[in-house]
Structure 1
Amino acid sequence: MPAFVLVHLRKPQLNEDVFTYMERVQSTLEPFGGRFRVHVPEVEVIEGDWPGTLVILEFPDRDTARAWYGSPAYQEILPLRTRNIDGAAILVDGVGPDYDPARTAATLRARTAR
């Protein structure tokens, strides 16, 4: 099951550190089978408030995504981004091709009925 790292970058400040981070991040992903799925300078907000931008990375699974994030190569460049851009990163599992939100609703309904 694929896993995704979602990074909400609030008020990005572009500078040489951030450019260096961007130039080097791809090489940290490759050994872990990671790839960019979304990397956009602007998002179109259709509901609510979303200051900033979004990056979505895909990995083969959660353990591999964790291994990438904790890798020496990534940890070496991470401060180039975190010192310059306020943000948050989360790790989530994807859903399979047979995912049905109605089944999830039924499961959650049964849990709340107890």
Structure 2
Amino acid sequence: MTAYALAHLRKAPIHADVLEYLERIQATLAPFEGRFLVHGGTIDVLEGDWPGDLVIIEFPDLGKARSWYHSSTYQEIKPLRTRHLAGEVILVEGVETDHSSSQMAAELRQANGL
């Protein structure tokens, strides 16, 4: 099942380390079949606050996403980002193409006796 790496990164002044990180991250993704879906595009905040940028990277599955994040090639460049950009990073599994939120609700109702 497809998986995603999501990063919510706070805005900060551009730093040479961050530029180097941007120059090098693509090469870390290729061996794990990762590709950018969102990389700091325009954000239209509809509810709440969203201070910063969003990055979404797609992987074929959660195993490849985890392997990328923990790979020596990514860990080598990660400090170039983390020293200068605060934020959260998560890995999350996607849903099947036939996912139904109403079916999910029905299963939750049944499981919880509601």
- The TM-score with structure 1 as length reference comes to 0.94
Structure 1 unaligned regions, length at least 5: none
Structure 2 unaligned regions, length at least 5: none
2:27 counterpart residue number:
27
Q: Structure 2 counterpart of 1:81, which letter?
A: R
Q: State which drifts further: 11-20 or 58-67.
A: 11-20
The question of 1:104 aligning with 2:104 is answered: yes
Q: State which drifts further: 65-74 or 5-14.
A: 5-14
Q: Is the 8 A contact 1:42 1:52 kept in 2?
A: no
The question of 1:63 aligning with 2:88 is answered: no
Aligned residues: 114
Q: Structure 2 counterpart of 1:3, which letter?
A: A
Which secondary structure state, in structure 1, belongs to the residue aligned with residue 6 of structure 2? strand
CA RMSD of aligned residues (A): 1.3
Q: By how many angstroms is 1:44 displaced?
A: 1.3
Q: Which of structure 1's runs of 4+ aligned residues deviate more than 4 A?
A: none
1:15 counterpart residue number:
15
Q: By how many angstroms is 1:40 displaced?
A: 1.7
Counterpart CA distance in 1 for 2:99 and 2:48 is 26
Identity value in percent: 54
